[in-house]
Structure 1
């Protein structure tokens, strides 16, 4: 998937689905750059915001756990990378980190023999 073409809200929803699977996630109606998480609480619907592309504290634990590196790649651009060779650049450093994380998760779900050949 080409994550560079997705909005901040869409990326936030994808991150929420991976990082907070107990909640339902949708693009926040109050801030299109984030996700709204909802869950059933005592028979009512409770909600909270999730803004990983705007609040470093929501994405930093993922960055640390998965060893995603972040370095300047110019005056206004940041590059996030992983030792497996996955990289992403963006003006928003958190978006670059999020894209690298999503690409890592995508590659982890690809079967080892994804070409369909029957060579063992």
Structure 2
């Protein structure tokens, strides 16, 4: 999937799907670049904001765990890369890291023989 065409809010929702699986995520009603997480607590719906593309403390632990590197690629551009060869470049370094993480999750969910051919 081409994550560079998605909005920040859509990327935040996809990150919440993998990083916050207990919550239901929608685009934040007041900030289109964020996600709103909601959960049921004593028969009432509670909500909170989730800003992974703006707050480094929400995405850096994932970056460390999955060994995603971040390097300047120019004066205003950052490149995030993984040792598997997956990389992304963007002005927002957190968005570049998020795209690499989503591509890693996408490649982990693809079966080894996705062409459907039988090797027997």
TM-score range, shorter chain: over 0.9
The 2-side partners of 1:111 and 1:38 are apart by 31
The 1-side partners of 2:119 and 2:26 are apart by 42
Q: Within the alignment, does 1:50 sit opposite 2:50 as a pair?
A: yes
The 2-side partners of 1:30 and 1:38 are apart by 15
Q: Deviations over 1:50-80 (max 9, x none)?
A: 0000000000000000000000000110000
The 2-side partners of 1:103 and 1:3 are apart by 8
Q: With structure 1 as the length reference, what TM-score do the two structures score?
A: 0.98
Q: Within the alignment, does 1:66 sit opposite 2:83 as a pair?
A: no
Q: Corresponding residue for 1:97?
A: 97
Q: Deviations over 1:25-68 (max 9, x none)?
A: 00000111000000011111100000000000000000000000
**Aligned Cα root-mean-square deviation (Å):** 0.7
The 1-side partners of 2:118 and 2:77 are apart by 43
The 2-side partners of 1:116 and 1:17 are apart by 27
Where structure 2 has 5 or more consecutive residues not aligned to the other structure, the ranges are none
Q: With structure 2 as the length reference, what TM-score do the two structures score?
A: 0.98
Q: Within the alignment, does 1:29 sit opposite 2:29 as a pair?
A: yes
Q: Corresponding residue for 1:41?
A: 41
Per the TM alignment, residue 116 of structure 1 is displaced from its structure 2 partner at its CA by 1.8
Where structure 1 has 5 or more consecutive residues not aligned to the other structure, the ranges are none
Q: After the TM superposition, which segments of 4 or more aligned residues of structure 1 sit over 4 Å from their partners?
A: none
Per the TM alignment, residue 112 of structure 1 is displaced from its structure 2 partner at its CA by 0.4
Q: Corresponding residue for 1:118?
A: 118
